[in-house]
Chain A
Amino acid sequence: MQPISRRSLFAMAAVATPLAFLAACGDDKKEGASGSTPGDTNAGGSTPGAGALTGTVNFLNFTGWAGPTTYADFAAAFPGATVNEIAFASNDDTISKAKDRAGDIDVVLVDGTTFPRLTALGVLAEMGDVPNMSLVADQYKGNSWDPTNASFAPTDHGRTGIIYRKDLVTTPPTSWAEFFEMAPDYSGKVAMLDYQGSVMDNVLVMLGKPVGSTDEADLAAVLDVLTTVKPHLLAISTEVGKAVAAGDAVMAMCDAYDAQLALTTNPDVVFVDPSEGQVGYLEGLAILDGPRNALASAFVNFFLEQANYAAFINNVASPYVQPDNPDIDAALKASPVINPSADVVAKLSYHVFLGEDQPKFDAVWDAFKAA
């Protein structure tokens, strides 16, 4: 199956959200009928088991960020259970929905910057019985935002690097510094990722500053780099892979999964892990406190099951957290974009939660885009 571009998913989310909202409204009624009755086998349960759990799992997710038949398979494995995917468009949207529908959203896809915000809101629940967590490699567990993995089940990760067209760029960039230095040579043919954290954190890495630094001088240096390169940009876009594959741009800052799709589309596209290192994200499933926690745990466990997990990764073509999973496509395993070397992983760091300092970061990004 053709992998889905996550950027396209964002665009699709705009269309899907109203539909998901309507679907959710419909499911609310069903939940009211089954979820609130005293005899509901789901409420307060702790041990997942097929046939014992019913109801609808409201899953806050990127549109389609799952296997092609994950939800149908879950419904088949747990008769009486269904999954209602609710699309979110940004991390802020996740927070808004988790607040506005507290007790109604069961499972949410989060990263290390959103998880602490959910913790601050007090809406997280501890995972129930998720034996398939053992399939996740240890290196993705015990993160700063959830050291004991009490509420976070890692599912996928990603990183930002450089893509370029080897048929159109004479000297390939190997570092962030070269990428920015070369931009004037390819003025109007360079694309920048439209993700504030991805761009700013990687510029901080290039400058040798701490990831997520909100030091005034560091942020001023980041703004200087970005405003200097802006006149040479073709676009600041979420679909940079597509632009490079099509030849509209010759090089770009690009996320790994988007790069994988681009180089699948056009063999002249090359992905580079910059020599200074990279910043990326680790995503996972978290359970929000509510009446269906046992069912939610069963869903998370089902999602991580070997075959289901492989179907998810094969569908979205994302870097994965189950390196020993034999069902993941050989082509993806062989791709250094999706399955990076130990050297690359060693230089990889994750975006950090900025807390009250977030507006300082926001101001620099807005200044760059407004310039």
Chain B
Amino acid sequence: MTNRGNRPHDATRMKLGPLVVPDWLLVVIVCLVPVGYMVTRSFGRANPITLDIELTGTLDPYRTLLSGIYRPVLVRSLGLAAITVTMCLLIGTPAALALSRLSGRSRTLALVAVMLPSFVSFTVRVFAWQGVLATGGPVESLTGAQLLYRPPAVLLGMITAYVPLFILPAYVALARVPRSLIEAGADLGARHWRQLGTIVLPLAMPGVVTGAVVVGVLSLGEFIVPTVLGGGKVLLLGNILAERGAGRDQPLGGAITVFMLLSFAAGGVVVAIFRRRAARHA
């Protein structure tokens, strides 16, 4: 027999159990119901006149999504999301590492600087970039480069929008790496790069991967940036979802939703693998 049931930890769980039920119900209603609604619609046919959905169990929306028309969009969306994640990793990881090494007021100031853009509406920031990249704008005036309405502008907009969202979880993970382990590594002769590669990054990997997944998820569904900075010429999955899936062709929107869910699930599996490896390493 064990006295486990009398431990304070379990007692707390017993008390909280009924209290969290309404929260979980709310989560289910708010999160799962809309997704379930869209997934259900992915097996239907839309009446183009009345927009009524006839649920027939058809797979036509999936065939349409994978057809020649939308295949370039799928490839472009996945490619752009991958590039955005890679760039956020390359830019954000050193920034998060530097942030984690700061202390006191300088750390606070640096954190505020990273977070400051997020205090402004996302749409406003994207339109601000439109002004910066426009003909006669600062970028063209200084460099002569006309980036607006071209793919580099979309990439720039996405990276600048999402890099703070990568830095934060990466920073939290990096800041939690015990200094004693780094010092122990140093005592055993590990130089800076070796400390970084064998101690710091492996332990912080769950945070880094979480940041990457967040960026990947948001990039894959992005539609404001390509519309505003891509001039409507760089069509992404998010644009189809907004233009067709939310209107005349909800079944196609449902199929895109499922595609995105599967992509996110794949990201979740990657995070889980990294977490398990990190736990073993620790």
A interface with B by C-beta (< 8 Å): 90, 92-93, 95-96, 99, 116-117, 120-121, 188, 194, 230, 233-237, 246-248, 354-356, 358-359, 362-363, 366-367, 369-371
Which residues of the partner chain A approach B209 to less than 8 Å between Cβ atoms? none
Q: Name 8 interchain pairs, CB-CB below 8 A, sorted by A.
A: A95-B51, A235-B231, A235-B232, A248-B148, A359-B249, A367-B68, A369-B239, A370-B69
Which residues of the partner chain B approach A99 to less than 8 Å between Cβ atoms? 50-51
CA distance A356 to B51 in the complex (A): 11
Residue B154 is within 8 A (CB to CB) of chain A in the complex: no
Q: Given the known inter-chain contacts A233-B233, A235-B149, A370-B73, please indicate yes or no for A246 contacting B244, CB distance below 8 A.
A: no
Give the nearest-CB partner of B239 in chain A: A369
Which residues of the partner chain B approach A230 to less than 8 Å between Cβ atoms? 233
Interface residues of B in 36-94 (CB under 8 A from A): 48-51, 68-70, 72-73
Residue B235 is within 8 A (CB to CB) of chain A in the complex: yes
CA distance A96 to B235 in the complex (A): 24
Give the nearest-CB partner of B68 in chain A: A367
Whether B231 lies near A362 (C-beta < 8 A) is no
Give the nearest-CB partner of A361 in chain B: B48
Total contacts A-B at CB 8 Å: 71
Residue B240 is within 8 A (CB to CB) of chain A in the complex: yes
- From the candidates A194, A248, A358, A369, name the one contacting B48 in the complex (CB within 8 A): A358
Residue B139 is within 8 A (CB to CB) of chain A in the complex: no
Which residues of the partner chain B approach A370 to less than 8 Å between Cβ atoms? 69-70, 72-73, 235
Chain B residue total in the interface (Cβ 8 A): 24
Residue B248 is within 8 A (CB to CB) of chain A in the complex: yes
CA distance A301 to B8 in the complex (A): 74
CA distance A194 to B149 in the complex (A): 14
Beyond the given pairs A248-B148, A366-B244, A369-B233, 19 more chain A to chain B contacts, judged by CB atoms under 8 angstroms and listed by A's residue number, are A92-B51, A92-B247, A96-B51, A99-B50, A117-B49, A188-B146, A194-B232, A230-B233, A236-B231, A236-B232, A237-B232, A246-B135, A355-B48, A356-B48, A362-B248, A366-B240, A367-B69, A369-B232, A370-B235
CA distance A354 to B244 in the complex (A): 17
- From the candidates A120, A355, A356, A362, name the one contacting B244 in the complex (CB within 8 A): A362
Smallest beta-carbon distance B239→chain A, Å: 8
Residue B217 is within 8 A (CB to CB) of chain A in the complex: no
Residue B134 is within 8 A (CB to CB) of chain A in the complex: yes
Whether A369 lies near B235 (C-beta < 8 A) is yes
CA distance A235 to B135 in the complex (A): 13
Whether B48 lies near A96 (C-beta < 8 A) is no
Whether A362 lies near B249 (C-beta < 8 A) is yes
Of all A-B residue pairs in the complex, the 8 with the closest CB atoms, nearest first, are: A235-B231, A92-B247, A236-B232, A358-B48, A235-B149, A369-B235, A367-B69, A370-B73
Smallest beta-carbon distance B86→chain A, Å: 24
